[in-house]
Amino acid sequence: MKKFLKWIAIIIGSLIGLLIILAILLPFILPLDAIKDYAVTKMEEELGQKVVLEKVSFNIFSGIKLQNLQIGNPTVYFKKAPISVKTAELRYSFWSLFSGKLIINKIALIELQITIEKDASGETNLSKLFKKKPKKEKIKEEEKKAPLSLLVNTFTLKRGELNNVDLSTKPAQITQIKELSVDVSGIVLSAVSPISAKASATAVYKGAPIPVSASAKIFYAMEKEKVNITAAHLSVAGEKANISAVVSNFFKGPAIDFSLSSNKLSAETFLGILAAGSSAKTKAAPGELTKNLNRSLQNIKSTLSLNGKINIDNLTYKTLKIDKISLNVSMRNKVVSLSVPEISAYGGKLEAAATANLNILGISYQISKLSISNFNAHPFINAMVDSFLTMKDKDDMKDKLYGTLDFKASGGGRGVEGQDILANAKFSGSFSLSNGELKHFPVLESFADKINQPDLKKDFKLDTLSTAFALKNKILTLTKLVADSEKSGGDIKVQFDGGLNLGNLNFVSGNNLKVTLLPNAAKNLPKEYEMLKDKDGSASLDFEMQGSLKRPIPVPKIEKAVEKVLEKATEKIKERLNQESERVKKEAEEAAKKEAEKATEDLKKKGAEELKKLLKL
């Protein structure tokens, strides 16, 4: 695209130069037909290409007009001359000539057509057309001084068409700009007032039309290498933005300080243009966005520096909606730094800080801070699933989670398309949900079927849902995911530790789901689960979740159940032994008591007999 614009500038500049030279010479060299033939001959000698000029008209007091000018042989693909213009007109101030100045009031090009074709070797038809000539000897300063001071006030281009065809690819890649209109005025007075510039066109890429328009006020000071752009309005495929910018050091840099604002913007539209040159309605093939983005980023100079502020209301990407975004952006050596003081969305706020390296294919990024607070979980999670996940069963992850969401994460990755983002992402953080609810949750529904408790299939109220998480190689690992509803009168607690494969939406083996049924829910457990009840009447069961996230299969962990049963059996045995020991001890005490009582009686009897013997004496 950069080379494309360069050739456009060269061509338009050449046409304007031709008009100016003819305007200077024509008053002194006539007739017109002779001048026309002379000009055509000289252009053919210079370019080595066929030149056709149908008509030249001239008014000494107003200007010159060229009609039906064609340069070059027909192109391979479009069968058109590389350069053609239906009408080229230059209007100048006649009386200014007497003051040593040539003031051009207006230069107008009507139906300018430029066709650029690149062959298999990478060379374009225009590079052949404008091959550099051998450098002439340096002209002395006094000899090269222009006899006239040239001033141009207005330039217009109407119904222009630019065609760019890359024949080195199969199929050929075509970019077109149709109905191009440009209007630049106020150039003469630019020292005291701004230049007014307007442009509009329809870009066509892979058959999809993209309407584009722009307008701006421009102050420039060439000696200071500085351009100040104010009141700039840009519209691309219906998406509008207001821009102001100061461009300095533009020969070596440039350095750009800018401000961008928009009241409504679709990020998907711009990404769609990069991917397929279309609006959001056109679906790009996988990898197309990355390929075209890499090609575009390679044209960015490492010397380009940016510093700006972006404020957007109502930003959307697919179904993801952001009410307000405010961010600061800077770029040095093609490394972009972003700080996000605040994003308002889904009833809450987001803060972030990140960097993106444009030198790396596919763009690598690092997020040092990502904090979400008080988000409405249900619409937000649904939008994230719709906007970023690509698997066919992704809809099964929607409409499950409700409540107020808080989230913190840091990490990085590479990629701009959903599948690449997921494959390369490496993050860690925490997640919590309050005052929430789980609806039609497959894990709980499959668990309810397993233990024959249909009441557990009801929507699950949540006091809290929290977990620490890590994402790497498409595996989301959850640590101590705890769901608790006891305070709000719920009958169940859930804890999960393990991994989810987001690539194929399956559970990773080795996970553990612990479900605790509080007494009210455990009272109707089947008899085979009675041994799992605690003293308070609650029951805990451990499972390994297998299969897909859509249709999970809870597999009981037998060894834990056996341990539980053995533990309870051991407790009962101990209780019986204690009871037996108490019984034996009691019987022994009773026997000892009886023995003692008998011994006492015997002693009493013996004592009485001994007493009788003494009395007889």
Summarize pLDDT for 51-94 with one digit per residue, the tens: 888 887 876 656 778 889 888 888 888 888 888 999 988 786 65
What number is the average pLDDT over the span 280-285? 50
Is residue 245 one of the residues assigned to a domain? no
Return d(Cα 242, Cα 217) in angstroms, integer. 12
26 vs 220: which has the higher pLDDT: 220
Residue 425: the pLDDT is 93
Task: Take residue 71 and report the two structure tokens written for it.
Answer: 């340069």
Average pLDDT of the chain, as a whole number: 78
Is residue 604 in some structural domain? no
Classify residue 567: in a domain, yes or no: no
Reported as a single tens digit per residue, the pLDDT across 234-249 is 888 888 899 999 998 8
Q: Which of 286-295, 506-515, 552-561 has the highest mean pLDDT?
A: 506-515
Q: What is the mean pLDDT of residues 274-294?
A: 59
Two structure tokens written together for 182: 């440009």
pLDDT at residue 309 in the model: 94
Last residue of a domain, one of 556, 578, 601: 556
Domain presence at residue 509:
yes
- 122-145 burial, b for 16+ CB within 10 Å, e for fewer? eebbbeebbeeeeeeeeeeeeeee
Query: What is the per-residue pLDDT for 166?
Result: 82
Question: How confident is the model over 156-178, as a mean pLDDT?
Answer: 86
Higher pLDDT, 339 or 440: 339
**Domain coverage including residue 467:** 425-556
- The answer to whether the CB of 524 falls within 8 A of the CB of 371 is no
- Judge whether 491 lies within some domain: yes
**Residue 48, in any domain of the structure:** yes
Average pLDDT over residues 524-546: 76
In the chain, the number of structural domains is: 2
DSSP 148: S
- Residue 146: pLDDT band by 50, 70, 90 thresholds? very low
Q: Given 536, 556, 576, which residue is the final one in a domain?
A: 556
Model pTM score: 0.64
Tokens, residue 10: 């060269």
- Residue 489 placed within a domain: yes
CA 614 to chain centre: 119
Among 225, 216, 223, 169, residue whose Cα is nearest residue 197: 216
Give the DSSP H/E element, type plus range, for residue 423: helix 418-424
The torsion angles phi and psi of 192, rounded to 5 degrees, stand at -120, -15
pLDDT for the residue numbered 479? 95
Per-residue pLDDT tens for 568-609?
555 665 666 566 666 666 766 677 667 766 766 666 566 556
- 374 pLDDT above the threshold of 50: yes
For residue 276, tell me if it sits in a domain: no
The length of the chain in residues reads 617
pLDDT given at position 338: 93
Greatest alpha-carbon pair distance for the chain in Å reads 187
Q: Which of 537, 556, 575 is the last residue of a domain?
A: 556
pLDDT recorded at residue 189 = 62
Q: Confidence class of residue 110 from pLDDT cuts 50, 70 and 90?
A: very high
Q: Which of 28-32, 42-46, 433-437, 586-590 has the highest mean pLDDT?
A: 433-437
Q: Which of 295, 249, 288 is nearest to 272 (CA)?
A: 288
H or E segment at 432?
strand 426-438
Q: Looking at residue 173, what is its pLDDT? A: 79
Cα separation, 554 vs 496, whole angstroms: 12
